[in-house]
Amino acid sequence: MMPSTIYKLHFILLVHTIVLLAVNAAPESQSLSCWLVEDIPGTETKPRSIQHTPVLIQFTDASGLTHTSPLTADPDTLILYVFDPSGKLSPDFTSCEITHHLPQETSLDWARSLTEEKRSPPSLGKTWYTVAARNEQDGRGVSFVLGPLGDKKDHFSVSLAVYSVSTIHAQLGKPLTIPCGMWRGHQPRFAVEWRHRAMGLGSLLYAYDGWKDKVEEHVPNCHLNFSALHSDGDASLLIENVDTSLEGTLLCTGYLPYLRAQREIQMVVTGKPQVTLQPSPLFARPGEEVTLTCDVSHFHPLEISVDFFVQLSGEPHPTLLSGSSLSAHTHNQDGTYSITAYQYMVASSDLNGARYICKVNHVSAPKGISASRTLKVAGVSAPSLEDIMYLFLTALVLYGTLSYLRRKAISLFGNQPDLKPQKNKSE
Ligand SMILES: *[C@@H]1O[C@H](CO)[C@@H](O)[C@H](O)[C@H]1NC(C)=O
């Protein structure tokens, strides 16, 4: 081996060692700031109130040991030492709220089998919490149930975690997977439930008892992947065909014996509009008043803007036109909307060749959707290539017709013997 190679290898090893040491010696911040939200019942002297207490969640290992230096929080802050076997607790959550969790039996059909043993562990009598944490940047959110870890009052362990994104944009008429994961440790007794809520009305979409492996309820359009659920805790809801009735909030709930955790997912159903611009073709005489009609149909949701632009021939960019008007929207049977926009204009010879554009801005199409027509003003244009071809074709057809008529006339009135048999042959 060349000495220089050995030297290089040594150097690489040294760099690796330094990097490894650095990673181990300075773990990223291993804590998460939260608020404990408590409902304080009213007394004779004080009305009922909501109390917010600052909390610092300090991550620990299974034995309750922390790997960072002791925390220096102010004395009002409650410190909770949390062991997270789910791996879903992270210091990068931007919002975090803690509430008391009351372990209890559930009377729902799909969760009843979870507690049929009637042997509730004594730990259920201790303090339990629900932690709802979110990362506002990427929309990730997790709902945790924290249960007691060992005998120390401020040590907890994640017992259940349900995680998902917070918002979904779904395309009308397309299949969709609404992600939701459930971490449950080694607990074989579990259930999953999906609900939909919109404008105060709720409905059950799916209910599955994982312990009995039984689908208790489901609407025809929705499915779960059972193998993915049992092996990886993937409780995502698979929807065959998105329609506007899904708009609203979807609730993914995971049940363990006496425990539950839930994530809310906002659904925005988007339908891309079809845009057509009339009249087509766009011909006018100089001085003629023309109303451009832009039909925008079958879109969802309702928020939309429609603008008209004109680009004169030779101009590099279109210019926004003012004075357009919008019809009232119609609500179609499939839940989508349609609307019509109008733009009035007077044709003139200098507008010949101008391109009129109707541009629609809608959440379903980030770049917008346009339709355009080119205005032809009568009596202005020199014959274009198309016109020339049209004239040529007309001349050709005329020539063909005339020569046919001529032959017909000759065969009828003339007495040319060589034409007769030819005609018979073709019949
Ligand atoms: C179900 O999930 C498994 C992974 O666990 C995957 O291989 C399979 O393709 C999924 N089935 C369907 C129908 O999506």
Enumerate the domain spans of the chain.
26-39+49-270, 274-377
| In the predicted structure, residue 122 carries a pLDDT above the cut 70 | yes
Instruction: Please write the tens of the pLDDT for every residue from 269-291.
Output: 999 999 999 998 999 999 999 99
CATH topology agreement for domains 26-39+49-270 and 274-377? yes
For atom 7 of ligand 1, the residue with the nearest CA is 228
| In the predicted structure, residue 4 carries a pLDDT above the cut 70 | no
Q: Ligand 1 center to residue 273 CA distance, Å? A: 33
Index of the ligand 1 atom closest to the CA of residue 223: 13
Q: Which CATH number fits domain 26-39+49-270: 2.60.40.10, 1.10.10.10, 2.60.120.10, 3.90.1170.50?
A: 2.60.40.10
**Averaged pLDDT of the chain:** 86
Confidence of residue 80 (pLDDT cuts 50, 70, 90): very high
Q: What is the mean pLDDT of residues 199-225?
A: 93
For atom 11 of ligand 1, the residue with the nearest CA is 225
Ligand 1 within 6 A of CB of 225: yes
Q: Ligand 1 center to residue 226 CA distance, Å? A: 8
Tokens of 205: 């979409």
Q: Ligand 1 center to residue 233 CA distance, Å? A: 12
Q: Ligand 1 center to residue 218 CA distance, Å? A: 19
Ligand 1 within 6 A of CB of 228: yes
Ligand 1 within 6 A of CB of 221: no
| In the predicted structure, residue 423 carries a pLDDT above the cut 70 | no
| In the predicted structure, residue 35 carries a pLDDT above the cut 80 | yes
Confidence of residue 8 (pLDDT cuts 50, 70, 90): low
Q: Which CATH number fits domain 274-377: 3.90.650.10, 2.60.40.10, 2.40.50.140, 3.40.50.2020?
A: 2.60.40.10
